[in-house]
């Protein structure tokens, strides 16, 4: 029943999106930053929040004081499933972009909304293109747009977090912005654990204390991926007791 409700809503949202795309296209010609912020608000309030409601997701947010609303930051989260993005985006500051795998760019409506919000599509198989994406991300951060990224690189189905790709943290190092670890619990219980059905679930998202790489020693910078992975692993295990 929940799957059907979400499917119907997505069809309606797709129809509504067509005129909104045209309006935002015009807005973008005048002010590209405003276009990204309005697009993000539309996606959150007309897209993600209704989907979370229809899916029966109870969302608990911890550490809201660590969401940096007055400065851009690199938000690093552990990847469990599709609903990771919904949990993160509905709590994200404005403007915010996501780093996604290149395959998502092939999904018409989804990729267009993502491009309107300045989201990035990372090709991990092509080093040159991957580096171009990282450089684009650095410029976004410098211009005031926060970025969410999952350094595991793919969805994790095990109990332990996968190894983090250290290259992900170049975004923060080169832009001199904060790194905010974001721990996610139980997002895969909504969908991935019982495909193709959607089930209600209690999802916990916790924003941890920001880290600043420009205040670290060189040895600490080299270990930043392991440091953040350790923080997230601890938070995930602690929060799991509340599920």
Question: Is 145 among the domain residues?
Answer: yes
Summarised one tens digit per residue, pLDDT across range 105-124 is: 999 899 999 999 999 999 88
Mean pLDDT over each residue of the chain, to the nearest integer:
95
Question: Is 127 among the domain residues?
Answer: yes
Q: What are the φ and ψ backbone dihedral angles of 58, each rounded to 5 degrees?
A: -95, 115
Question: Is 11 among the domain residues?
Answer: no
Closest CA to 114 of 67, 76, 148, 72: 148
Residue length of the chain: 243
Question: Is 35 among the domain residues?
Answer: no
Question: Is 46 among the domain residues?
Answer: no
Distance CA 167, CA 116 (A): 25
Q: Is the pLDDT of residue 238 over 90?
A: yes
- Its domain, for residue 123, covers 59-194+201-240
Question: Is 214 among the domain residues?
Answer: yes
% helix, strand, coil for the chain, step of 5: 55, 15, 30
Question: Is 231 among the domain residues?
Answer: yes
Question: Is 54 among the domain residues?
Answer: no
pLDDT at 159: 83
Total of domains in the chain: 1
Query: The domain spanning residue 77 has which CATH number?
Result: 3.40.1130.10
Summarised one tens digit per residue, pLDDT across range 61-76 is: 999 999 999 999 999 9
Q: Is the pLDDT of residue 151 over 90?
A: yes
pTM, entire model: 0.95
Higher pLDDT, 243 or 176: 176
């Amino acid at each position: 029943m929940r799957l059907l409700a979400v499917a119907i809503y997505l069809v309606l949202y797709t129809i509504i999106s067509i005129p909104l795309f045209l309006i935002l296209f015009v807005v973008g010609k005048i002010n590209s930053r405003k276009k990204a912020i309005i697009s993000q608000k539309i996606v959150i309030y007309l897209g993600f929040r209704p989907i979370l409601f229809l899916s029966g997701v109870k969302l608990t947010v911890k550490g809201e004081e660590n969401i940096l609303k007055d400065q851009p930051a690199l938000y690093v989260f552990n990847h469990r499933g599709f609903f990771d993005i919904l949990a993160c985006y509905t709590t994200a500051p404005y403007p915010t972009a996501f780093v996604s795998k290149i395959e998502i760019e092939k999904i018409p409506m989804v990729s267009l909304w993502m491009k309107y919000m300045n989201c990035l599509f990372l090709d991990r198989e092509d080093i040159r293109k991957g580096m171009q994406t990282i450089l684009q991300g650095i410029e976004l951060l410098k211009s005031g747009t926060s970025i969410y990224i999952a350094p595991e690189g793919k969805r994790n189905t095990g109990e332990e977090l996968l190894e983090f790709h250290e290259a992900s943290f170049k975004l923060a190092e080169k832009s001199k912005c904060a790194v905010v670890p974001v721990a996610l619990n139980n997002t895969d219980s909504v969908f991935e654990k019982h495909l193709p059905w959607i089930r209600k679930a209690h999802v916990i998202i916790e924003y941890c204390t920001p880290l600043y790489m420009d205040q670290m020693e060189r040895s600490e910078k080299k270990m930043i991926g392991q440091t953040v992975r350790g923080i997230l692993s601890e938070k995930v295990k602690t929060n799991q007791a509340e599920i």
